[in-house]
Amino acid sequence: MVAVVLMLAGRVALAQERVAVLLSERGGHYSEFLDAFYRALADPVLAGRPLTIVELTTVPERAGDPRLAGVSALVAVGVQAMRSAAARDDLPPTLNVLVPRASYERTVAESGRHRARAQFSAIYLDQPLSRQLGLIRLVLPGKRRVAVLLGPDSSFFLPRLRAAVARTGLELISDEVSAEFELIPALSQLLGGADLLLALPDSVVFTRESARSILLTAYRYQKPMFGFSQAYVNAGALAAVFSTPAQIARQTVEMLRAQPNARQTLPLALYPTHFSVSVNRAVARALAIDPPADGALHAALASETDSD
């Protein structure tokens, strides 16, 4: 009888370790994250408490929805999923992933949330400024003047950006725009006095429509651009440090398995711990730049301590 009770108790404990995953939409980076999430759960290297995944297509209308039974945490994948989860105060602790820091901060501010941030946390999609500036120093030693064009989403970074640049001994040259038609005139003025352009995620400045024009403008001024994704490097940026959906998925599993009390709290929002570095060697040759190998750049950045 005791054995049966223990066995049933174990089954209940396992059933309670459930994590709900809400995708902003199917396909693209969101499905890539979900596939990698399942792979990470099955990776013996990431051993820990077992987790059962419940896939959601929409946020349940009420906390008593059977799909949330025993769910200890909700993983909201993408900005749309995050905003849907933010509208509710009765959901399990929510970890938002594949979201830029600017979007997370704005959602927290605009949602009027009553829950502590430890119950509505995030793994940011973007990289810490110290890591991005570290890449610049490694790839372009001796270059100091960093141009940054900010928009409505990224303008709140300015005080933090100034502090980060000051710590590295670099010099910041920045401007702000509020509409796409202002981009190229502002960018042209910035690049005239800068050594390079640093791109930060922003829904007005760096879009699919504007990317080509910005890259062409930077190339016309012979100023290298540091992007924030592999796609930008492929399109013509000199280099980027970024985290893939698979890397974010792995960190998500590590975090969830490390939390013995996920029902009560999550770690405060943080930057990715796993990241990649990519350099466009053709662009480097065209600009007469000889950067270290990608692996060497990654090792150097991984050894540094993030300060923002």
List, in order of start, the domains of the chain with CATH numbers.
2-125+245-258 (3.40.50), 129-242+275-302 (3.40.50.2300)
Q: Look at residue 27 and give its three-state secondary structure.
A: coil
Name every residue whose Cβ is closer than 8 Å to that of residue 269 and which is 6 or more positions away in sequence.
101, 104, 117, 121, 122, 123, 124
What's the pLDDT score for residue 29?
93
Span 261-270, pLDDT tens digits: 555 689 999 9
Three-class HEC string of 259-305: CCCCCCCCCCCECCCCCEEEECHHHHHHCCCCCCCHHHHHHHHHCCC
Rounded-to-integer distance, Cα 280 and Cα 226, Å = 10
Integer Cα distance of 22 and 14 in angstroms? 21
CA dihedral 43, 46, 51, 52 (to 10 degrees): -20
> Is the CB of residue 60 less than 8 Å from the CB of residue 69?
no
Instruction: With beta carbons less than 8 A apart as the criterion, state whether 275 and 253 touch.
Output: no
**Regions in the chain scoring below 70 on pLDDT:** 1-16, 113-115, 260-264, 307
- Share above pLDDT 70 across residues of the chain, in percent, rounded to a whole number: 92
Distances (CA, A) of 107 to 59, 104, 187: 16, 5, 28
pTM of the model: 0.88
